[in-house]
């Protein structure tokens, strides 16, 4: 059962208090920034940025952002030094000046570019469609597309991508009103967290991960395995692996702030 975080707060707070180090990983869209109608509108609320800065400044805390956006984009959106950043669901990572790009992602980049231009061409007539080329993955956002057109979008998408998918050259995943094409690699947010932890030499740390979408479930699973704390942003759901939930990004940040400032009242 997923527990509403404020109702189980004592348990979480006491674990954070007794841990020698706390490592917090956070998704961006829908977790720190409310889901917006277009990706450009999903800016980081200043109050949440302030909480992230406070957390990262604490000696025994580390903060990492793990997003489906590109590494360059997520770094620019957060704009804080001293954090780890993982883009493209962890296929590209930057932590303490060290970088990582998954080799399969590098190899897939030219095919992804080709699929992107084909999709731009095929989906050109669809009102409200937004395509993103993130170098190591690509996204088709249909949040603003008329309901009656969504079927057509999915059919055109399949026409372009299906052959490469069948040949095992790419993977297709779905999120909230978005379809993504990714390199054919067994790599996800959970693996990215594992990579980052080995970099932090994080034995005996308490690891927290918060996310809101299907692709975050891999992160929840991994964090649960290492006895960490998994938090889903959104309504309570029987389908999630997360141990806790909050309703909104602002609520998540108020509680995270309490980890460094126990007196602050949400
Ligand atoms: Mg998200």
Q: Which residues surround ligand 1, an ion (CB under 5 A)?
A: 27, 29-30, 212-213
Residues 198, 98 contacting (CB under 8 angstroms) = no
**Residues in Cβ contact with 6 at an 8 Å cutoff, skipping those fewer than 6 apart:** 246, 255, 266
**250 Cα–ligand 1 center, Å:** 14
| In 102-150, beta strands by DSSP E | 130-133, 138-141
**167 Cα–ligand 1 center, Å:** 29
Q: Is residue 266 part of a domain?
A: no
**214 Cα–ligand 1 center, Å:** 8
pLDDT tens digits along 1-29: 899 999 999 999 999 999 999 999 999 99
Residue among 92, 69, 189 at smallest CA distance from 139: 69
**139 Cα–ligand 1 center, Å:** 13
Residues 221, 254 share a domain: yes
Residues 208, 140 share a domain: no
Counting the structural domains of the chain, the total is: 2
Q: Is residue 113 part of a domain?
A: yes
Q: Is residue 25 part of a domain?
A: yes
pLDDT tens digits along 156-176: 999 999 999 999 999 999 988
Q: Tens place of pLDDT for every residue, the chain, 266 residues?
A: 899 999 999 999 999 999 999 999 999 999 999 988 888 888 999 999 999 999 999 989 999 999 999 999 999 999 999 999 999 999 999 998 889 999 999 999 999 999 999 999 999 999 999 999 999 999 999 999 999 999 999 999 999 999 999 999 999 999 889 999 999 998 999 999 999 999 887 778 999 999 999 989 999 999 999 999 999 999 877 889 999 999 999 999 999 999 887 666 55
Q: Which residues are tagged catalytic? A: 27
Domain interval for residue 108: 104-182
And the tokens for 188?
A: 């996800």
Residues 97, 33 share a domain: yes
Q: Is residue 140 part of a domain?
A: yes
């Amino acid at each position: 059962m997923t527990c509403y975080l404020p109702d189980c707060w004592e348990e979480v707070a006491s674990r954070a208090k007794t841990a020698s180090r706390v490592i917090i990983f956070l998704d961006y869209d829908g977790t720190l920034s409310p889901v917006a109608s277009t990706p450009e509108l999903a800016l980081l609320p200043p109050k949440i940025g302030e909480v992230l800065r406070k957390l990262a400044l604490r000696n025994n805390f580390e903060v990492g952002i793990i997003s489906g956006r590109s590494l360059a984009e997520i770094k620019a959106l957060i704009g804080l030094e001293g954090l780890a950043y993982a883009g493209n669901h962890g296929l590209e990572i930057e932590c303490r000046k060290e970088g990582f790009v998954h080799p399969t992602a590098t190899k897939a980049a030219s095919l992804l570019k080709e699929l992107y231009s084909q999709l731009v061409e095929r989906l050109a007539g669809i009102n409200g469609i937004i395509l993103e080329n993130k170098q190591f993955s690509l996204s088709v956002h249909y949040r603003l597309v008329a309901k009656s057109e969504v079927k057509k979008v999915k059919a055109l998408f399949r026409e372009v991508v299906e052959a490469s998918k069948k040949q095992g050259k790419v993977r297709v995943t779905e999120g909230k009103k978005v379809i993504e094409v990714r390199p054919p690699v067994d790599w996800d947010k959970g693996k990215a967290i594992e990579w980052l932890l080995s970099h932090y030499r994080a034995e005996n740390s308490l690891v927290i991960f918060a996310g809101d979408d299907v692709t975050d479930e891999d992160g929840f699973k991994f964090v649960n395995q290492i006895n960490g704390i998994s938090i889903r942003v959104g309504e309570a759901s029987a389908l999630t692996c997360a141990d806790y939930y909050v309703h909104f990004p602002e609520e998540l940040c108020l509680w995270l702030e309490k980890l460094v400032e126990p007196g602050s009242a949400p």
